[in-house]
Structure 1
Amino acid sequence: MNSHTQHTKLFSNRGRLFQRIFGIVLTMLFALAGYGLNELPGFHYVGPLACAMFLAILYRQLWGYPEAVRLGVEFSAKKILRGAIVLFGLKLNMDVVIHHGLGLLLRDVGTVVFSIFFTVWLAKRFKADASLSLLLGIGTGVCGAAAIAAVSPLLKSKDEDTAIGVGLIALVGTVFAILFTVLRPWLPLTDMQYGIWSGISLHEIAHVALAAAPAGQDALAMGLLAKLGRVFLLIPLSFVLMVWMKRTGKIRTDAKVEFPWFLIGFMATSIVGSYVFGKYIVVPSSLTNGISQVTTFMLTMAMVGMGLNVSFKALREKAMLPLLVLSVTSIILIGLTFLTV
């Protein structure tokens, strides 16, 4: 490698590093602004996570996506979110997991099956794009944008369909997550029931965190547990799709399924928090409170990354029918799961 090539590569690496750093800083600033907005009268009902996401969505509509720092924004929306989920495992009581886990997983299966089949059926009725609607059904049932990104290579989806699907899921999931926080005080549900309802009905992990957090730590723990069961179902679903595509002769030989390793981290920290801390290792309350605050702030940064992906203009121009299908499916799913909690 000659000197010119080395300098070019070094410059490129430094540029990517600065993009990532400044993007992360941007999401931090929005998160701090969300905490500030949460202090104003009325906004404290929805919490800092929703406030930060609202500001990010508003910024996107007025000034567009901050392309210069995309790497950092994506890092916050994906990596920091997963890190926060792993840390949150310290707050999860494994005795609750053992008692409720199987029942939640069965509900998760129902959510996934209903979302996919009903979305595809409804898309045919509305004559919406079939390929995009399938992506939306999978995203609704499993784990939002992450599921769409995971199955797109398997389904040989167009990049445009993948991008639109991610945008639609971000928009609809955000709207419903904020509505959950607004309606929560008037719902005839306990905090635990509310958390379960959020986990088995909302689209993204971030949306579940956003909706369940105002109900307290136990509600958030149950919501994440229910949601992570749906994330785990992405693995068997992906293999089912691979078999289906192979039979239709459409499978990509280079397609791979990414295992959600952060799910393992979440369960590992849950075990540590339940059976090690407090029993074998004495942890000061100041440290556990500090970890909890850091976890919440990391989640808030992830909300900002999600909010910056919501573009009303792109959705209005290309995806009105799929948006209608997704909205109807989401409303019916939320209603059905409410009745079963």
Structure 2
Amino acid sequence: METNRLQLWYGILFTLFIAIISFGIARLPVFNYIGPLATAITLAFIYRQFFGYPYKLKTGIQFSAKILLRAAIILYGLKLNINVVFSEGLPLLLKSSVVIVFAILMSYALAKLFKADMTLSMLLGVGTGVCGAAAIAAVAPIIKAKDEDTAVSVGIIALLGTVFSVAYLLIRPYLPVEEVGYGIWSGLSLHELAHVALAAEPAGEEALGFALLAKLSRVFLLVPLCLIFIWHMRRKESRTGAAKVAFPYFLIGFMLMSLVNSYVIGDYVEISDQVMDLISQLTTLLLTMAMIALGLNINIRDVAGRALKPFALIFAISIALSILVYLIK
């Protein structure tokens, strides 16, 4: 019993230690564009290839991969203001729906056509269409994805999002588009919330505001999307006789936190910006620790062959999505 408790705490501290290193590296030039999540997964991946999986710390690592990941998604709900989306972003909800449907259906169709790994392709489609790592982490247990597939998908999305956000910055001066239009384009097409902020911030406060609003309209659709996946998986498995899909109850926490942020904080409870910023940093830390735990499951010999096609497909889909959103923004 004592041994299991020590394995739990040592494993958690191990992921925390790498996370702290990742945050430090992410402040360095070049790495500051990549961010702590991609840096963390890279460090975890390198550790696994050179030193193997730390089985003596397995209990704590699994705790980080499962429990801390769900806690991070719940806290992520505090980034979503439903009231703002409904009052100012209703037209963006329709466009966000188009973005999500396009990304997922194209991922599915191209994976079928080119015989790419379907699990990786669907996770990448969800991450591209909705909100990167948080969306992948929410959908992964529903479609019964392996931990290594989840980690690889998050790593690919982090890489692509960084590349595309930098590309947006480079081409913005040459585009015949106003600041607000550029912000909406960024918010509807880029992968992670951080990527949206990176691309839109230089265009001004108004552009950044609309960019974040557009991104939040995509985050808002995460829960209904998960419910659709649950319905699909349960229908599929009722025909095959497989075990039923468990409902991801952490999504209820996600919605509760978003409701608190939308209708309680500011109206009934005053919380300073410093405290909200601290909670945001805690959310990122927990998500980073979870990504490290997942990244330790990546065995390059197992995933290299399977990940190549999905990566190429989602890169092409991201380009097509950027063009589509530019036309409908």
Equivalents in 2 of 1:166, 1:84: separation in Å? 15
1:169 aligns with 2:169: no
Q: 1:85 to 1:66 in 2, by over 3 A?
A: same
Deviation at 1:176, TM superposition (A): 1.3
Give the equivalent residue in structure 2 for 1:300: 288
Question: Greater CA deviation, 138-147 or 232-241?
Answer: 138-147
User: Which one-letter code corresponds to 1:83 in the other structure?
Assistant: A
Structure 1 residue 283 corresponds to structure 2 residue 275: no
Distance 1:183 1:308 in 2: 30
CA distance in 1: counterparts of 2:79 and 2:152, whole angstroms: 32
Q: Which consecutive residues of structure 1, in runs of 5 or more, have no partner in the other structure?
A: 1-10, 153-160, 203-207
Once residues 181 and 63 of structure 1 are traced to their aligned partners in structure 2, the CA distance between those partners, rounded to angstroms, is 34
Unaligned segments of structure 2, at least 5 residues: 127-134, 173-178, 202-207
Query: SS state of the match for residue 270, structure 2?
Result: coil
Q: Paired residue for 1:258?
A: 247
Q: 1:294, 1:304 → 2: CA distance?
A: 15
Mapped contact 2:123–2:139 kept (Cα < 8 A) = yes
The aligned residue for residue 314 of structure 1 is 302
Are residues 1:151 and 2:143 paired?
yes
Tell me which residue corresponds to 1:234: 226
* Matches of 1:71 and 1:334, distance apart in 2: 41
Say yes or no: does 1:140 pair with 2:145. Answer: no
The match for 1:197 is 189
Taking the aligned partners of 1:85 and 1:145, their CA distance within structure 2 comes to 8
Q: Is 1:32 equivalent to 2:20 in the alignment?
A: yes
Offset at residue 238 of structure 1 (A): 2.8
Q: Measure how far apart 1:32 and its partner are.
A: 1.3
Aligned residue pair count: 305
Q: Which amino acid aligns with 1:230?
A: L
Write the deviation string for residues 70-91 of structure 1: whole angstroms up to 9, x where unpaired: 3433433443233234334445
Task: State the shift of 1:233 in Å.
Answer: 1.2
CA contact (8 A) 1:138 1:148 kept: no
Task: Tell whether 2:203 aligns with 1:211.
Answer: no
Shift of 1:193: 4.7
Q: What is the alpha-carbon distance in structure 1 between the residues aligned to residue 67 and residue 75 of structure 2?
A: 12
The answer (yes or no) to whether the contact 1:65–1:308 under 8 Å persists in 2 is yes
What is the rounded CA distance, in whole Å, between the counterparts of 2:326 and 2:293 in structure 1?
A: 29
Matches within 5 A, 1:11-160: 11=1, 14-99=2-87, 102-103=90-91, 105-126=93-114, 128=115, 132-133=117-118, 135-142=119-126, 143-144=135-136, 146-152=138-144
Distance 2:197 2:8 in 1: 28
Q: Which residue type is aligned with residue 229 of structure 2? A: L
Separation in 1, partners of 2:19, 2:305: 30
**Pair 1:296–1:166, CA change in 2 (3 A):** closer
Residues 180-230 of structure 1 show CA distances to partners (whole Å, capped at 9, x for unaligned) of 4544543637556534433xxx4xxxxx25534656796667535513513
Whether the 8 Å CA contact 1:57–1:310 is kept in 2: the answer is yes
Q: Structure 1 residues 101, 77: closer, same or farther in 2, change over 3 A? A: farther
* 1:281-319 C-alpha deviation (Å, 9 max, x unpaired): 333444334333323333333343344344433223455
Q: What is the rounded CA distance, in whole Å, between the counterparts of 1:63 and 1:309 in structure 2? A: 12
* 1:96/1:121 CA distance change after superposition, 3 Å: same
Partners of 1:225 and 1:69 lie apart in 2 by 39
Q: Using the alignment, how far apart are the partners of 2:92 and 2:300 within structure 1?
A: 34
Hey, what's the Cα distance between the residues in 1 that align with 2:241 and 2:99? 26
Identity fraction in percent: 33
Classify 1:279/1:180 alpha carbon distance in 2 versus 1 (closer, same or farther; 3 Å): same
Shift of 1:173: 2.0
Quick one: distance in 2 between partners of 1:150 and 1:270? Answer: 21
Aligned equivalents of 1:323, 1:137: Cα separation in 2: 8
Gap change, CA 1:180 and 1:31, over 3 Å in 2? farther
TM-score by structure 2 length? 0.72
Change (3 A) 1:33 1:184: farther
C-alpha RMSD of matched pairs (Å): 3.8
